[in-house]
Structure 1
Amino acid sequence: MTDDNTRPMPAARLAVAATLALVSGPALAAGLEFEVTLPQPEASPAYRPYLAAWIEEPGSKEIRGTVAVWYDTRLRDNLGRGFLRDLRSWWRAEGEKLDLPADGLSGPTRGPGTHKVAVAPENAALTGLSAGDYVLAVEVSREDGGRETLRAPFRWGDAENSAEVTGEREITRLKVTANP
């Protein structure tokens, strides 16, 4: 390893850098993380699904904050944003009010497989959360496909905890891990 790309880094500085990386690792892991598994669709052609993820209180459909939105931002005339209406639950409650694309929220659609999303503790949806029980809701909609919403409970304010739920059509699995 080099210091400024010209000289080798002294062993003592290398040891300090390695120790800092180990010590700061758990602190960087704070926040909320979720894994969503999208199945391989049987239809051909298969379009990548749009996705919205948000936090709500248990037993309430009121959205506390959006944590992720995946859609096609490359379409001409912002056409991809128009298809977000197919994420009906999220769109009616929060989506149509958001100014998209939004830094830290918006991202491209993703294909089949397991995708991990880290939500930083400074995300607006997390900063106002008091200790208590919440739900991470994930809604997926695919053109010429279906629509599905899964909800996974988590506890904010205590030690790390996680929950996992399974879906039937558009989401195979949703796992949420909270590390406040």
Structure 2
Amino acid sequence: MRVQLTIALSGLLALPAYSAEIDVNVQIPQLNVAEYHRPYVAIWVEGADQKAAANLAVWYQQKATNEGAGTKWLPDLRQWWRRSGRTLKVPVDGVTGPTRPVGTHALKFGSQHPELGKLPPGEYTLVVEAAREVGGRELLKIPFTWGGASAGKAQGKSELGLVTLASKP
């Protein structure tokens, strides 16, 4: 009898399951330069303490070239590298992938994402950082509500174009 009571109480104390989703569009602009290289891009979520709460995507050169392995240049994504990159063992399933060409890339992340699904509802910041060989660096931030409805955008000036975010419960 006591075991049944414990099971019933533990069921009452369980946290309710919820689902949430964020849609992100990241624009990689066409640059008029003599030597063009696709940018490395990191997309992550920060909490109010500015610590990485979830890595969403990391785009990098995945094949070794005569210049070395692509992972060699991941520290060029300086903010991401300091906050969480140096502790990751890449590749990370569902997070890392190849660099992307010029254009707008639509991404959808939900509560089933390996890291995002662990976040409690609340206020966060989406961070998108880009670094390019023989190019520059750029970092954009968009505040949003995880588990609620919000929208935002940030306009890059060099390595990134328009980045938009829409979150919904």
TM-score bracket, normalised by the shorter chain, equals 0.7 to 0.9
Superposition TM-score, scaled by structure 2 size: 0.82
Secondary structure, counterpart of 1:91 in structure 2: helix
* Alignment correspondent of 2:78: 88
* Alignment correspondent of 2:132: 142
- Contact kept, 8 Å, 2:131 with 2:137, in 1: the verdict is yes
- Contact kept, 8 Å, 1:100 with 1:106, in 2: the verdict is yes
* Alignment correspondent of 2:22: 32
- Per the TM alignment, residue 124 of structure 1 is displaced from its structure 2 partner at its CA by 2.9
* Alignment correspondent of 2:37: 47
Structure whose residues are more often helix by fraction: 1
CA deviations 1:34-92 (Å, max 9, x no partner) are 1011111121220000000000124x321101100000112259710111110000011
* Alignment correspondent of 1:171: 160
Superposition TM-score, scaled by structure 1 size: 0.77
Secondary structure, counterpart of 1:124 in structure 2: coil
* Alignment correspondent of 1:154: 144
CA distance in 2: counterparts of 1:103 and 1:127, whole angstroms: 15
- Contact kept, 8 Å, 2:20 with 2:146, in 1: the verdict is no
* Alignment correspondent of 2:113: 123
Structure whose residues are more often strand by fraction: 2
CA distance in 2: counterparts of 1:137 and 1:157, whole angstroms: 18
- Unmatched runs of 5 consecutive residues or more in structure 1: 1-28
CA distance in 2: counterparts of 1:106 and 1:155, whole angstroms: 24
CA distance in 2: counterparts of 1:148 and 1:99, whole angstroms: 24
Secondary structure, counterpart of 1:144 in structure 2: coil
Q: Which AA in structure 2 matches 1:70?
A: W
Structure showing greater relative contact order (alpha-carbon pairs closer than 8 Å, 6 or more residues apart): 2
How many residues in Structure 1 have an aligned counterpart in Structure 2?
A: 150
CA distance in 1: counterparts of 2:87 and 2:97, whole angstroms: 18
Q: Which AA in structure 2 matches 1:47?
A: H
Tell which deviates more after alignment, 60-69 or 133-142: 60-69
CA distance in 2: counterparts of 1:82 and 1:61, whole angstroms: 25
